Structure 1
Amino acid sequence: MSGIEDLLREDLRGKTPYGAPQLDVPVQLNTNENAFAIPEDVAAVVAEFVGRELRGLNRYPDRDAVALREDLAAYLGHGLTADHVWAANGSNEILQQLLQAFGGPGRTVLGFMPSYSMHPLLARGTATAFVDAGREDDYTLGPDFVRAAITEHDPDLVFLVSPNNPTGTALDREVVEAAYGAARGLVVIDEAYAEFARDPGSTALGLLEGRRRLVVTRTLSKAFAFAGARVGYLAADPELVEKLLLVRLPYHLSSITQAAARGALACAARLQSEVDELKHQRDRIVKNMRAKGLPVADSDANFVLVGGLRDAAAVWRAILDEGVLIRDVGLPGRLRITAGSEEETAALLDAFDTVLERRPALFDLQEQAK
């Protein structure tokens, strides 16, 4: 009799599931979560929205989440309506649905790694071939590089991330325009961290009009401190949104999820102050690391990528020993750090000072940030 492994799809055999280290330490700055809990006044509003739904839980939710989509469109602006917006259980499900509808066996999605590590996993899960075009030597992407990669591989979908994870850098408008001009299929701009950008105008939302194959994906997990609620969404041409209904599960967003998200959106202005504080702490980390002689790029996300490490794994462990958990994303000489509260940032910087003093050989302080 065959074992379970033998019954599994061949392309999934021997693979391991996605996961980030979850360790019980005082300061956790490894998964790009919002460092701040939902404020009490916001929690009260969310609870009020949810409370209205409780007695009706014997009925299925609005399968098309129309009220939520209206609120999301109002939040995004740019002349968007509910017909331009689709919502799901986190932006991962949004991306999965895009691959289910427009990818699949015999089709290809092009990515530019290092980038969001779930992209190739979502492609594998939908039997879509994932092609990695890489990045330029400094991990940036220019319009010529992107255009050449698309021309070479002729993908059915293109995934671009802005701000990019793990580098934190945002894409220039010209890169998105070049990708759209070169591609015959969908061009998906993953903007999970868009609210943290130094230039709010860097979003691709302003490019949607007239570009029917362009998609912008977002999430409430980061700027809205709503990671536990699992709410993601996209903005695109209404016809494209309509096609996603072919692959969505019936009643995929619960009444509770929809209500909670609407409550959070009602408090968007209130939550912006938390975003501003995280941006301040992010820039504080950048400035401090550069002062130590460690290179770090300007970040448009709620995290930074620090370089100048001779042994990234050893530095990660040494920082962990000081009670601070950051992320080893597998890039030589680099570690990713999520921006935290003022106190968490202080603990992080103290941890780096301690490790630098005790084990200077782990660092290459001659390499200066640009």
Structure 2
Amino acid sequence: MKIYHNLSEFIKLDNAVVTIGTFDGVHFGHQKIIKQLVQRAKADGGESVILTFFPHPRMIIDPENQDLKMINTINEKAEILKSLGVDHLIITPFTRDFSNQLPEDYIKHTLVNNIGTKHIIIGYDHRFGKDRLGNLSDLKAAGLHYGFTVEEIMEQDIHDVAVSSTKIRQALLAGDVNLAADYLGRPFSILGKVIKGDKIGRTIGFPTANLFVEETYKLIPSDGIYAVTVEMSLQSEVQSPESENKTTNAPKLATPDSGLQTFKGMAYIGQRPTINGMTRNIEVNIFDFNQEIYGQDIKMNFLKFLRHDVKFTGLEALTVQLQKDKEATLNYFKTLN
């Protein structure tokens, strides 16, 4: 899949089969549209194109509202779309100027002149252009003029897949990672870099990798303890602790070609009230693992919520509970075999 970070980077196609959306989570409903897109492109001898936006339009149109968090970072979304067989992903910077385009200008300049759209697959309620005035009827009328066809995802088809990004966010904020996984068709995951912590976990027999998530807009589930799997590429070069906070714009997900390995573990999200912590941490105790991985990018898949975060009387009481948590986690993994 080719990725473009601006329409100006994209070379107009002869036969582009297009769909448009933010696709946060790339959940079952999104996957239905994307599979339809890929199949139609192959049947027509064309190429599949997804036009998405970053930042999320709501972040620009309503900048005072900082509560909106994304299920996927833009890099995570790109990796998922790649796995679904999409040919081209255009990540359009969403700005005030872009949102103020008249619907007819958006169709002419973006869909026709820049992309070369010959067929577009879109939801029945899709809106676009200034004040979201453009609709499906406008697309169909423009298609007759510019020579592209429009395929509507019917209301019943979308409602049959009773899922939305909002429902997934609500589930995650409640700690219900199982429900989120049902909607997503895969476990919810967090990708981040391992950074140095205060190493208190080592002193009580539960060393943890502290995860730094660069993207502040990434949704983090409810505080608590979770059964997780951890994926990392141990063959890749691990950075020194001094360079651990340096970041890149490239997608970070490891691939099987880069020596991807998976481990079981239990994760903690919270402010560590037992030691009067002041910041929200994301930590993971990786089972049967003792390598130094500072600077390593890891992916954490959330499988089961175990308990809420609580304040204990001291480290001894916390250690006793962590041992119980580990036993509960191991028992959970046994049920998967």
Structure 2 length-normalised TM: 0.29
Bigger proportion of residues as helix? 1
Indicate the structure whose relative CO is greater, using CA pairs within 8 Å and at least 6 residues apart.
1
Bigger proportion of residues as strand? 2
- The structure having more radius of gyration, on CA atoms, is 2
Structure 1 length-normalised TM: 0.27
